[in-house]
Amino acid sequence: MSTFNLENIVRKNIWSLKAYSSARSEFQLYGKTDGAELTLLDANENPNDPAILDMDLQIRNLNRYPDPLQSDIKEILSEQKGIATDQIFVGNGSDEAIDLLYRIFCEPGKDSVITCPPTYGMYEVSAAINDVAVVEFPLTSDFSLDVHGILKSDAFAKAKLLWICSPNNPTGNALLKADLQHDWQAENYTKGGMMDMPYAPEFEQELKENKENLDRLIGGFNGIVVVDEAYQDFTENQSFIRRLDDYPNLVVLQTMSKAHGMAGARTGFAFASPEIIALFNKTKPPYNVNELSQKAVLKALQLTDQTDQQISEIKSNREMLSTLLEDLEYVEEVYPSEANFILAKVKDASAVYNYLKDQGIIIRNRSSQIPNTLRFTVGTTQECEVLMKTLKEY
């Protein structure tokens, strides 16, 4: 009788896989407490419960399978995003879309992808699961994209996927700008200027360089460029959705987990050409988004006024929190953020993290990615006040 050895029959890349470490895996919230006595500022969630909790979702017939193509959700997204329904994929969180991109475009054990760390860790974990090599091009010292380094590398000519998280997690800054001209006009118009104001000479140069970068980085890439816009709602920059017609190899990811306060519903979106979306639909499980999530997401997408109000509050609290953090003696640097979180460099990240945890305030220690840094999710006004009061007492 042979002796069964599990390791012998597991794929080697899975056996050696280092799993993704989420905020909820680093801090064991579930199974011990309901979290009611904790201030959770670690997972970049919207601190507000969505109003759909008080609404009748009219959920019927759970004995029937859900719509496999989430038609109602795509209709409202089409109207809100200005994009055709056949350019929209709805998935079980953005993580499903990330995994599908590997399974659709990458040959296991053969192909490679490009990432730009520090960034969202699931790009690398999904690559490992799918046995795909990762070539890293770290961000520069000021957390900018190393466009020149990527373009001149052999990896750029060979890679199947190029991952760009913008605004980036955990740094909070935008790595690429989809439409600088629109962003500039909108900013000056809100400050009392005219939409047709002439550009400053330095902006003309920036506009030219940005277009060249996009044309070379996206237009010159033989694979798929994925722009992950999980935090798009918290920046003033235009979404890359408006550039899909310009670049047929572009895929844009967005989610219900951040601005819409629907992290528990696990629903994300991919926007791309009809041809790429058809591949998503052909590869995904038949009923990948359950009926409960579909109904909840549909209601949440209709609550535009509430969502806009919550986004405005988070942006305001972000500025307040940034200013207050800068005044703390042990905070060495507060990095500019266009997301719903703030990254700060401190003198002893582990000590500050453990101190806050002992006070029932849970943040994220990002020192494994950037030495002595902490990431603070922007909470409600009250949560930010409690956080700052506690930090001042450290």
Mean pLDDT of 280-305: 94
Mean pLDDT of 7-16: 83
Mean residue pLDDT of the chain comes to 90
pTM for this model (two decimals): 0.90
Question: Comparing C-alpha atoms, which of 195, 144, 194, 148 is closest to residue 171?
Answer: 144
Residue 331 confidence class, pLDDT cut points 50, 70, 90: very high
The per-residue pLDDT for 207 is 82
The per-residue pLDDT for 193 is 53
The per-residue pLDDT for 199 is 66
Beta bridge partners of 114: 135, 162
Q: Is the pLDDT of residue 33 over 60?
A: no
- The sign of the torsion formed by the CA atoms of 358, 364, 368, 372 equals negative
Beta bridge partners of 88: 271
Residue that the structure tokens 């994209």 belong to: 145
Domain segments of the chain as ranges = 20-49+305-392, 66-302
The per-residue pLDDT for 222 is 95
Mean pLDDT of 259-277: 95
Residue 28 confidence class, pLDDT cut points 50, 70, 90: low
Residue that the structure tokens 């995994």 belong to: 99
Model pLDDT for residues 86-96, shown as the tens digit of each residue: 999 999 999 99
For 213, phi then psi, to 5°, come to: -65, -45
And the tokens for 354?
Answer: 């453990």
The CATH class of the 66-302 domain is alpha beta
The superfamily CATH assigns to domain 20-49+305-392 is: Aspartate Aminotransferase, domain 1 (3.90.1150.10)
Q: What is the C-alpha to C-alpha distance for residues 66 and 63, in angstroms, rounded to an integer?
A: 9
Least confident interval from 11-20, 120-129, 378-387: 11-20
**Sequence-ordered list of residues with C-beta below 8 angstroms from that of 304, at least 6 positions apart, any chain:** 80
Residue that the structure tokens 């605004």 belong to: 167
Q: What is the C-alpha to C-alpha distance for residues 74 and 76, in angstroms, rounded to an integer?
A: 6
Of residues 91 and 200, more confidence is placed in 91
Model pLDDT for residues 60-92, shown as the tens digit of each residue: 778 889 999 999 999 999 999 999 999 999 999
The per-residue pLDDT for 54 is 56
Taking CA atoms, 206 is separated from 134, 184, 194, in Å, by 31, 11, 20
**Sequence-ordered list of residues with C-beta below 8 angstroms from that of 301, at least 6 positions apart, any chain:** 73, 76, 77, 80, 260
Q: What is the C-alpha to C-alpha distance for residues 23 and 364, in angstroms, rounded to an integer?
A: 7
